[in-house]
């Protein structure tokens, strides 16, 4: 755990240059706008420890899977989130010395991610080996108004000399991914072009054929006035630049404003990319930096008006939740139904693919409550559009008759994960996709979705489960063998309780949905039965037999559900008894040792009890929590939030806060020693869940919204807004009172500590806070 970033309500602040943590800070200070993004790299040359990263949404490369063996059904490729052309670069030479913070003496350094207004601000004083000293002030943003562009205001002021500086803004497409197999480069040049103070590089990805034009245009000011200058164009492989040499005087500021764009063939015709890039840069440069910065602040203000969570009395917690919400909104806007939420977003290249089960399990609840209903619907339709690929994925593994296995990792619906225990065994992902449909309908009341899209997905998933189980003559029950549950520190286990329970639920739910559609729209039901080749009596009879006879491992003696067969044969050791020098175990232990241990990477049984909490009484939940929590190392970013919500439900307020804080500050404090690879974007939605569902006690039951809030001990108050079925509610909780305001949407009813209140529009209810345990 690191603690070098200054706590602040609205900003992430690095004071003093922490070279040893630079890659971590680059991840944390990443910028994005849903279309493009980049890590918090320096504009000028830096030869120290850095991970250069620029990314364009929807663009990927199918890197050949690199394994020492091959098995039938194994993915042929591992989809890379591609490092794209570096558009932020500005080479700075001072009297022929290159400005490089790795070779300079650096003072007064500050790097600030301003989350309120959506920009990265960096200042420092550099003393070069010659003794020449300069002050630099850089502001960079990725526009969420003009979402295929970014802009940089780069200011340099000589402090102790008069002389010459040379500025060379550039676009460099000759880049590669850090984790590229065989050090392969994935981009080829199509064309490049330079003109006065501008340049363009068009690249195309190998194999997938995505075209991207990255362009730059710049202007220069001295002492606040635009200056004329001569620009020397430079071209190299996949590279364009413009070199400008200027006379500078002591204490006089020179400013380079660099406008850039990334236009992709995902959004434009290939033959139009270059000409549209030129027009795009002309338009935003005429708008100017100040206007773009002003528009950015206004757009972010509108986002924060809806999405902000305000915490009084705990700056670290406030900073943490705002950082998580900021990154979620940078990564996915919901404006393009073709896109999804990658686990690293625009903060790093680790993990392939753009879509994991994280979207359904963690992100959809966030967007349901904070965005227009269509955003969540689009995320579900994204999976419906890939149903054919899910059926193909299942066929590759030997399944038939319309069984669908959604990929663990994907770009286009095909499985592209390159670890066998994930690809073949971590099939619980199917359950999360089915649950998201239930979650959406339960939250919005949009039952039309079931007949339009949902039923086909649910049936394909249920068919998979019915074929994946087998009848055990020994147990006289159905079992599911050779799986990996959410806890990836167990592989190839038999009868993972979470997976078995989810399979049963999926088969129950698809039959419930079937009855609803049949009753509400028999014509559509007949169409669906025909298009899916549904033999209802035969298939549903089998589903019911599995439901009635599924084996779910448990210990009646301990009163707990067993994570999988044989779990109690392990040496059961608590995490608190593990030497701190051994953590995180995934970086200190062999995989063999991890698999033999009892330690749990993330919530598994508890994840299932979180999803289906109404199926279990509070005593059962407590027994399982008390048993599994002490063995959970939380080395998955997806884990702490679930534990926080469960602890809150059990009335364990201190532990709930502890888990919340770990989730909220996971990347800011680098809890798992892996933030240098990028931030954990999808788990950030879990931070929001831990506060709203945990401290806020928010639940949806029977088409009604319930709250049972409490304030953590060291907070004064907290408040959050949620959308629910056309209403916008503001929930304000202090140590003494809870107030719920109906800000818009007409009259509605809400439940507060299980008491119903009718709220007219622009009215509120205020009651004393209760010491309430959610039943």
Q: What is the DSSP letter of 362?
A: I
Q: Measured between alpha carbons, how far is residue 366 from residues 49, 50, 84, 421, 432 in Å?
A: 35, 32, 29, 29, 15
Residue 132 has φ and ψ, to the nearest 5°, of -65, 140
Q: Helix 315-331 to helix 681-689 angle, to the nearest 10 degrees?
A: 130
Answer whether 364's CB lies under 8 Å from 682's CB: no
Closest CA relative to residue 353, chosen from 129, 59, 709: 59
Q: Which two tokens stand for residue 670?
A: 């680098």
The 3-state DSSP class for residue 99 equals coil
- Could you give the CA distance from residue 414 to residue 391 in angstroms, rounded to a whole number? 10
CA dist., res. 701 & res. 545, Å (int): 29
- The question of whether 488 is a catalytic residue gets the answer yes
Cβ(617)–Cβ(589) under 8 Å? no
Of 426, 488, 539, 676, which is the active-site residue?
A: 488
CB within 8 Å of 670: residues ≥ 6 apart: 1, 2, 21, 24, 676
Q: State both tokens at 415.
A: 């499985």
Q: Which residues of 176-186 are buried (b: 16+ CB within 10 A; e: fewer)?
A: ebeebeeeeeb
Burial-class residue 765 by CB neighbours within 10 Å (0-12, 13-18, 19+): middle
Identify which of 467, 453, 317 has the alpha carbon closest to the alpha carbon of residue 381: 453
Angle at 29 between CA 24 and CA 35, to 5 degrees: 120
Positive or negative, the CA dihedral 64, 66, 68, 69 is negative
Nearest to 743 by CA among 715, 724, 767: 724
Q: Are strands 97-98 and 187-195 parallel, antiparallel or unpaired?
A: unpaired
Please report, to the nearest 10 degrees, the dihedral formed by the alpha carbons of residues 513, 514, 515, 516 taken in order. 50
* CA neighbor of 221 nearest in space, from 293, 282, 154: 154
Q: Say if residue 584 is preceded by a cis peptide, omega within 30 of 0.
A: yes
Count Cβ atoms below 10 Å from residue 419 Cβ, excluding itself: 18
- Find, among 263, 196, 261, 200, the residue nearest to 233 by Cα: 196
H/E run at residue 544:
helix 536-549
Gap between the terminal Cα atoms of the chain: 35
How far apart CA 275 and CA 279 sit, in angstroms, is 6
* Nearest Cα to Cα of residue 216 among 201, 198, 234, 203: 198
Which residue in 771, 775, 752, 642 sits closest to 710, CA to CA? 771
Find, among 487, 615, 441, 462, the residue nearest to 543 by Cα: 462
Q: Which residues are catalytic?
A: 488
């Amino acid at each position: 755990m690191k603690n070098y970033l200054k706590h602040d309500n609205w900003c992430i602040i690095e004071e003093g240059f922490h070279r040893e943590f630079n890659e971590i800070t680059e991840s944390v200070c990443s910028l994005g706008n849903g279309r493009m993004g980049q890590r918090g790299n320096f504009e000028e040359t830096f030869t120290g420890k850095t991970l250069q990263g620029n990314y364009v949404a929807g663009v990927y490369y199918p890197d050949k899977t690199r394994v020492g063996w091959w098995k039938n059904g194994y993915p042929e490729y591992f989809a890379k989130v591609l490092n794209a052309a570096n558009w932020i670069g500005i080479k700075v030479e001072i009297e022929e010395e290159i400005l490089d913070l790795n070779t300079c003496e650096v003072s007064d350094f500050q790097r600030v991610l301003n989350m309120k207004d959506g920009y990265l601000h960096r200042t420092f004083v550099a003393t070069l080996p010659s003794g020449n000293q300069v002050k630099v002030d850089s502001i960079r943003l990725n526009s969420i108004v003009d979402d295929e562009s970014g802009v940089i205001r780069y200011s340099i002021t000589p402090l102790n000399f008069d002389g010459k500086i040379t500025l060379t803004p550039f676009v460099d497409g000759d880049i590669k991914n850090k984790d590229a197999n065989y050090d392969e480069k994935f981009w080829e040049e199509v064309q490049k072009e330079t003109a006065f103070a501008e340049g363009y590089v068009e690249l195309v990805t190998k194999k997938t054929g995505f075209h991207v034009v990255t362009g730059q245009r710049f202007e220069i000011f001295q002492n606040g006035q635009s200056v004329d200058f001569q620009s020397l164009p430079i071209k190299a492989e996949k590279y364009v630049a413009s070199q400008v040499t200027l006379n500078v005087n002591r204490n006089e500021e020179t400013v380079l404003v660099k406008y850039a764009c990334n236009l992709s063939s995902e959004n434009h015709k290939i033959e139009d990319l270059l000409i549209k890039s030129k027009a795009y840069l002309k338009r935003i440069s005429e708008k100017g930096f100040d206007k773009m910065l002003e528009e950015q602040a206004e757009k972010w203000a509108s986002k924060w008006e809806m999405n902000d969570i305000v915490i009084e009395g705990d700056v670290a917690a406030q900073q943490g939740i705002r950082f998580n919400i900021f990154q979620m909104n940078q990564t996915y806007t919901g404006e393009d139904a073709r896109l999804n939420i990658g686990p690293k977003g625009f903060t790093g290249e680790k993990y392939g693919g753009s879509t994991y089960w994280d979207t359904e399990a963690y992100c959809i609840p966030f967007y349901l409550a904070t965005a227009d209903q269509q955003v969540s619907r689009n995320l579900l339709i994204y999976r419906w559009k890939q149903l054919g690929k899910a059926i193909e994925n299942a066929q590759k593994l030997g399944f038939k008759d319309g069984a669908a296995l959604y990929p663990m990792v994907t770009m286009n619906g095909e499985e592209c994960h390159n670890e066998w225990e994930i690809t073949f065994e971590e099939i619980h992902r199917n359950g999360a996709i089915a649950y998201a449909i239930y979650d959406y309908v339960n939250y919005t009341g949009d039952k039309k979705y079931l007949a339009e899209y949902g039923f086909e997905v649910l049936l394909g998933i249920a068919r998979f489960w019915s074929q994946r189980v087998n009848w055990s003559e020994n147990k006289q029950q159905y079992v599911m063998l050779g799986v990996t549950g959410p806890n990836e520190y167990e592989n190839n286990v038999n009868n993972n309780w979470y997976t078995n329970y989810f399979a049963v639920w999926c088969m129950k739910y698809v039959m419930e949905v079937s009855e609803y559609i049949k009753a509400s729209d028999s014509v559509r039901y007949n169409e669906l039965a025909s298009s899916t080749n549904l033999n209802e009596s035969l298939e549903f009879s089998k589903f019911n037999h599995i439901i009635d006879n599924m084996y779910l491992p448990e210990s009646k003696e301990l009163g707990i559900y067993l994570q999988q067969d044989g779990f109690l044969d392990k040496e059961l050791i608590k995490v608190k008894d593990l030497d701190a020098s051994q953590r995180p175990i995934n970086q200190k232990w062999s995989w063999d040792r991890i698999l033999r241990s009892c330690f749990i990477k993330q919530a598994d049984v508890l994840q299932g009890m979180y999803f289906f909490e109404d199926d279990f009484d509070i005593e059962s939940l407590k027994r399982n929590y008390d048993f599994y929590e002490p063995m959970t190392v939380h080395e998955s970013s997806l884990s702490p939030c679930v534990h926080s919500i469960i602890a809150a439900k059990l009335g364990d307020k201190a532990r709930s806060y502890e888990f919340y804080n770990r989730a909220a500050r996971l990347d800011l404090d680098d809890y798992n020693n892996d933030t240098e690879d990028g931030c954990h974007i999808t788990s950030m939605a879990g931070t929001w869940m831990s506060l709203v569902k945990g401290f806020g006690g928010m639940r949806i039951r029977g088409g009604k919204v319930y709250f049972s809030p409490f304030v953590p001990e060291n907070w004064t108050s907290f408040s959050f807004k949620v959308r629910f079925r056309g209403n916008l509610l503001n929930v304000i909780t202090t140590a003494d009172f809870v107030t719920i305001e109906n800000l818009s949407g007409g009259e509605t009813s809400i439940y507060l500590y299980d008491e119903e209140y009718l709220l007219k529009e622009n009215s509120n209810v205020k009651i004393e806070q209760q010491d309430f345990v959610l039943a």
